[in-house]
Chain A
């Protein structure tokens, strides 16, 4: 059974860059798409973007090009960098696996990690 685990700093200062890593275990990182999704406290879910194991990416335009997702297949990890953060970026950040053909569904999720943006 595939498992995903997010890791990274829980506190980031305003204007700095948020960096998170998701480690995949129990399954292959190849042939799947890997997403980041976030949820502000008490609010709904927002898809940030995904990366294919080959390195191709797709982002939510709402992040205004602040997000960058990368993958390291040798370590079975993928990462998120979000630049110029503000308090509005405070959220639980989830990584998830996207499976399917032309239309992908996020079928496995990490437990999530809370990132607070504050000075």
Chain B
């Protein structure tokens, strides 16, 4: 199985901050990586697919980059609605696997 490792596990930030989350794959997954946002008691919501493509309706302050084994999700200016847990997922190989999550907290 491809292991997905996110860092940091927790991130404390303020509204307006630029924040970045890293996701590393245990082997190359080309650009077959997605980012999801999950709020407490809710289902994950797709933000980014194919490493850098923004899902329809997702604010442009979210962006993704990377390929191969290292990927980054960046929020250019953190908004109150963005405090949540973020997961990366590889869909290059089966079984599909997720990172352990990064919780973005209010500083």
Contact = CB atoms under 8 A, between A and B. Distances in A.
B100 interface: yes
B100 A107 contact: no
A44 B46 contact: no
A92 to B, nearest CB: 9
B8 interface: no
B49 A105 contact: yes
Contacts of A107: 46, 49, 55
B98 A44 contact: yes
B43 A109 contact: yes
Contacts of A61: 95
Interface residues of B, number: 23
Main DSSP-derived SS at the B contact region: loop
- Most chain B CB inside 10 Å of its own CB: which residue of A44, A47, A94: A44
Contacts of A94: 43-44
Contacts of A119: none
Interface of B: 1, 32, 34, 42-46, 49-50, 55, 87, 89, 91-92, 94-101
Interface in A43-91: 44-47, 58, 60-62
B87 to A, nearest CB: 6
A44 B101 contact: yes
Contacts of B42: 111-112
Interface of A: 44-47, 58, 60-62, 94, 103-107, 109-112
Given A105-B49, A107-B55, A47 B95 contact: yes
B98 A105 contact: no
Nearest to A6: B43
The list of the 7 closest CB pairs from A to B, nearest first, reads A109-B43, A60-B95, A47-B96, A45-B98, A105-B49, A103-B32, A44-B100
Given A44-B99, A44-B101, A110 B43 contact: yes
